[in-house]
Amino acid sequence: MEHAEFDTAFEKLPEGYSEGAYEGRRFNLIVRRSKDGRRSSLFAKELAGTDIVSFNLYRIASGRTLLKPCEMSAEKVVAFVLDIRPDA
């Protein structure tokens, strides 16, 4: 996956538990990053609904990034990461 805007937006998300807004709806988020920076994951759940966003992200030796969505489209994951607004 080659998407610098996605990488920048994902890096800005706080590690651990947080909450934020996406498309006018509230979500909780759990972001985990490995110490070596090669593996990351996000799990988000809509607080007053049933929507979920979940993925694993791998940075491989060649410098490429592999996005592995969990039972959803990559487009949904990218849109979420680009537009989620975490609470301050």
- Does the pLDDT value for residue 4 go beyond 60? yes
- Alpha carbon 55 to chain centroid distance? 7
Question: CA angle 77-50-78, nearest 5°?
Answer: 5
pTM over 0.85: yes
State the Cα–Cα distance between residues 87 and 70, nearest whole angstrom.
25
pLDDT given at position 2:
52
Closest CA to 40 of 75, 19, 86, 9: 9
pLDDT given at position 62:
82
Write out the two tokens for 82: 């680009």
Cα end-to-end span (Å), the chain: 29
